[in-house]
Structure 1
Amino acid sequence: MKVGSQSWKFNNNVYLLETATAVGPLESQGPLKDDFDILYDEPYCGQKSWEQAESQLMRSAIQKVINKAKIKESDISVSFAGDLVNQIVPTHYVFRETNIPFFGIYGACSTSMESLLLSSIFVDSDNAKIALAATSSHNSSAERQYRNPTEYGGPKPDTAQYTVTGSGVALVSHKKTKIRIESGTVGIIVDAAQNDANDMGSAMAPAAAQTIKQHFQDLGLDPSYYDLILTGDLATCGSPILIDILKGEGYDISQQHNDCGKLIFSDDQPVFAGGSGCGCCAVVTYGHIKKLLEEKKLKHVLVVATGALLNPIILQQKETIPCIAHAVALCAAD
């Protein structure tokens, strides 16, 4: 049911059926390694290129989630999936091997919650029995896409973030599980007039603030409703900006807020300001947060995935970076 200007509230029968995650070697050494399903010990993931490696991450995560849910591929009514590479080709190359009805989507790093929200809307409206949401990123494919190949070895400032090598996949259905999908808020594009491609956190924080504020207003909530308000990719630079913006709007989320880009890596790993990429929010949410919800260590979680909608050409043309954030509320089912 649509509520307010940007949100949907779901009936009590929309659930997270199952999830699966696959991550690369650096993520496999991080603090959340025990919460991931598939750990690759080398960045090529047994493939011949970075883009093929990214496809393998998603391919293996999709197969894993199907096996964990004990369903067949033909049981999936529809899928929503995407990545960061031009024309989302890693995703297309995965789904050309399937017969799953497919929507290719692009929301940059917000794609994880965009795909989960769309899946939830389809299930809630009975237009799908089981919907699949998937996304991926790979550090080296993203570097080649947006900056320079990793072999170039160019220095980066401390504000830069490290694109997560990983894929997260979720299945949504009416079948009751331990995690219910309560609601979601679709973001609007916010341009904070930032143009530094090495400071995505500062660029995306205003979009996250807009979505969170609208979520509270649409659903009549305040920050205390949530045990955790989790952003996707703001990391150490964008997180304090988000908190400051919302304080100015009358919402103090400082006690509830954390960020996937800060959680996935440890302080001694070479990741600059923290993690980012389509896979960042996906693997943390579908691995670590899912586990905490199932164990009822968390009851209500708002996941807000943020995305910077840029490419190298617009920056060369001296354009600023438009951003967006999509939110999905998860809760431990009774």
Structure 2
Amino acid sequence: MLAGKQSWIFDSKPVITATGTVGGPFEANGAIPEAFDLLHDDLWIGEDSYEKAQTVLIEGAVTETLKKASLKKEDVNFMLAGDLVNQLTPSSFAGRTIGIPYLGMFGACSTSMEGLAIGAMIMEANGARHIISVASSHNTATEKQFRYPTEYGSQKPPTAQWTATAAGACLLEKTGTGPVVTKATIGRIVDMGLSDPYDMGGAMAPAAADTIAAHFRDTNSKPDDYDLIVSGDLGQIGLPICRDLLKQQGYDLDHSKFQDCGLMLYKEDQPVMAGASGPGCSAVVTYGHLLKKMQKGELKRLLVVATGALLSPLSYQQKESIPCIAHAVSIEANGGMS
């Protein structure tokens, strides 16, 4: 059901019945290694390119999800997948291997919640019985495309963020046991004219604030309706900016209420500059860490606001600013909001 201008309320409450999370060596040494079902000890993962290694991450996350659900890939109607590499090739090649009917998603680092929102809407419309949504990133594949190959050894400013080597997948079903997807707000493009590719958090913060405020307006909800609101990858720079922007609109979200996936994934002593980023970051933090807290009863209502910087190497070379977006999804313990 459409709520307000840009939000959906899912009366059918699609269920997240299983998840799968895969990471790399840096994530294994991070703050939440228990969030991963599978951790690889090198970035190559037995492949001859980082892009092929990213495909292995996606395949692993989907395989783990299906294994937990006791389903075969033939049982799944659609796979919604996205990443940061040109033309989504890691996701497409994983789709080739897995063989599930495939829809490519691109929202940069917002892809995890874009896929979950669209998957939930397909379920709401009785368009599927089983859907897998997966988002991924690979540190060195992303560095090579958007910045410099890691071997170049370029120095980054403290505003930069570390792209996670990770893939997170979830299975959506009409019925079952698990957290439910209750609402989603689709973001609009917000571009404040920032153009520094080494300050994604600052660029994305206005889009996150815009979507969060729209979610509250459209769904007639308020911050206290949620135990936790998490942004996807604003990091140390963007999170306080977003808090300030929301406060100007009358929403005062303190640290206990409003946190960031990009600040949860790694330890403080890891050299990640302003925090983590990448589509895989919010996917694994949500599916591997926060949903486990929900299963333990530590969280009942969660709003995940994944953020994306929609630039490309070409747009940067043309001296364009960075258009940004954020998509919000409300996830609740099975039974929904009372």
SS of 1:135's equivalent in the other structure is strand
Alignment length (residue pairs): 334
The CA distance in 2 between the partners of 1:167 and 1:243, in whole Å, is 28
Q: In the alignment, what sits opposite 1:213?
A: 213
Q: In the alignment, what sits opposite 1:305?
A: 306
SS of 1:190's equivalent in the other structure is coil
Q: In the alignment, what sits opposite 2:239?
A: 239
TM-score, scaled to structure 1: 0.99
Letter in 2 for 1:248: Q
CA shift for structure 1 position 298:
0.4
Q: In the alignment, what sits opposite 1:287?
A: 288
CA shift for structure 1 position 176:
2.5
The CA distance in 2 between the partners of 1:179 and 1:247, in whole Å, is 30
SS of 1:31's equivalent in the other structure is coil
What is the 5 A alignment of 1:25-64?
Answer: 25-64=25-64
Q: In the alignment, what sits opposite 2:224?
A: 224
Letter in 2 for 1:94: A
Q: Encode CA deviations 1:163-209: one digit per residue, 9 max, x unaligned.
A: 00000001111123131111111011100110000000000000000
Letter in 1 for 2:262: G
The CA distance in 2 between the partners of 1:303 and 1:141, in whole Å, is 26
SS of 1:48's equivalent in the other structure is coil
The CA distance in 2 between the partners of 1:194 and 1:13, in whole Å, is 38
Q: Encode CA deviations 1:268-297: one digit per residue, 9 max, x unaligned.
A: 001000000010000000100110011110
Q: In the alignment, what sits opposite 1:187?
A: 187
CA shift for structure 1 position 302:
0.1
SS of 1:151's equivalent in the other structure is helix
CA shift for structure 1 position 97:
1.4
CA shift for structure 1 position 12:
4.3
Identical columns (%): 46
> Contact 1:13 / 1:176 at 8 angstroms: preserved in 2?
no
Q: Encode CA deviations 1:222-262: one digit per residue, 9 max, x unaligned.
A: 11111110001101000000000000011112241010110
The CA distance in 2 between the partners of 1:291 and 1:45, in whole Å, is 26
> Contact 2:12 / 2:124 at 8 angstroms: preserved in 1?
no
The CA distance in 1 between the partners of 2:36 and 2:318, in whole Å, is 40
CA shift for structure 1 position 307:
0.3
Q: In the alignment, what sits opposite 1:318?
A: 319
Q: In the alignment, what sits opposite 1:119?
A: 119
Letter in 2 for 1:268: D
> Contact 1:112 / 1:278 at 8 angstroms: preserved in 2?
yes
Q: In the alignment, what sits opposite 1:78?
A: 78
SS of 1:19's equivalent in the other structure is strand
Gaps spanning 5+ residues in structure 1: where?
Answer: none
Change (3 A) 1:198 1:97: same
Q: Encode CA deviations 1:104-163: one digit per residue, 9 max, x unaligned.
A: 111000000000111100111110101110111000000011011000001110000000
The CA distance in 2 between the partners of 1:118 and 1:285, in whole Å, is 17
SS of 2:328's equivalent in the other structure is strand
> Contact 1:305 / 1:326 at 8 angstroms: preserved in 2?
yes
Letter in 1 for 2:314: I
Q: Encode CA deviations 1:23-58: one digit per residue, 9 max, x unaligned.
A: 000111111101210011111112111001100000
Q: In the alignment, what sits opposite 1:271?
A: 272
> Contact 2:19 / 2:169 at 8 angstroms: preserved in 1?
yes
CA shift for structure 1 position 323:
0.3
- Greater than 3 Å deviation, 4+ residue runs: none
The CA distance in 2 between the partners of 1:311 and 1:73, in whole Å, is 33
Letter in 2 for 1:297: E
The CA distance in 2 between the partners of 1:289 and 1:152, in whole Å, is 36
Residue range with higher mean Cα deviation, 303-312 or 168-177: 168-177
